[in-house]
Structure 1
Amino acid sequence: MLELTTEQVAALAEIDAKGFVERVRADLCNADPRLADDPTLSSRLWRAFKAARALGIERDENLVAFLRIEAYAPGFYEQPAPRAWLTRPGRSVDERFHDYLRVMRWKIEHPEYQGGLSNGGVGDTGSRGSRGGAWTSLGARWRGFVGRGSDSGNG
């Protein structure tokens, strides 16, 4: 039987994690080709992945969502409000992140209830024809909620 040292197991786990992040990056770039022009995307996604793991996010679907948000709103997880919510005791970070996503999606879909977008509109609809239009549009609106304009790069 093959026996691996702790260091070897850790190295294999890192290789697997980097492959996961690379697959998410490729999917993001396929859905929104503008992301492929961002030379910082790979390194940002890797940092976000490590941050998500450090916070305690374990579920793959939450990790993918975390990386998707990072692609459109760099460093969102470093902002005080998301960090405070995710690190609040009482529930698992996976549960809290899932709730956070649901609340953010609801706010994006219902801006009229928070004085959000002008005239109750939903913002840019020009990307609806693209395959990744929903995430692209979500990303644009997400940047607005986390205080980043669309001219800050990445989209």
Structure 2
Amino acid sequence: MQIKDLVAIGKLGNCLHKNGFISFKEAENFELFFLKNIFLLFTDNRVRYVEVIDLETDNGIKIRIDDDEIAMDVVEDGNVQVMLAKEDIKQLQQENDVIDLVGIPVVFEGNEIGFVTESFFNGAHEVISFENENGKEIMIPLVEAYVIGIDENGLNLKGIEGFLEL
């Protein structure tokens, strides 16, 4: 496998916390279930394959890996990218029933109001972006307060009047 076959899913911090945890900063389109077996790309282009043996999510994301020596190298480097193989990402998404929302209709009060153009994680929630009939971009967080569900008509939303008026 080559570096070009890997996709960045985040970066590790430069501090070793209690019990060997290292802070993790997620990249766009990150999913928590990606943190199992990962590649670490150091600034000198060394790549190490490690297993995430523990995870904390109370105050940001922190991971503990299975190799203490590599964990120390991560802290010394201070700018290590966390990577996954492209095929691993697809497999993990299938195993966890992740749906690609891009291109599906956005439905509000029974009416199609656009098509999803982008879906991303903003650090707190998954967010969709779509253009309304006037070409205006609208972003909606995918949270229970706004999502009814997905069916044959598309992504059904509720309570988004305020977003549509902006």
TM interval, shorter chain, is: under 0.3
- Bigger share in helix: 1
TM-score, normalised to structure 1's length? 0.26
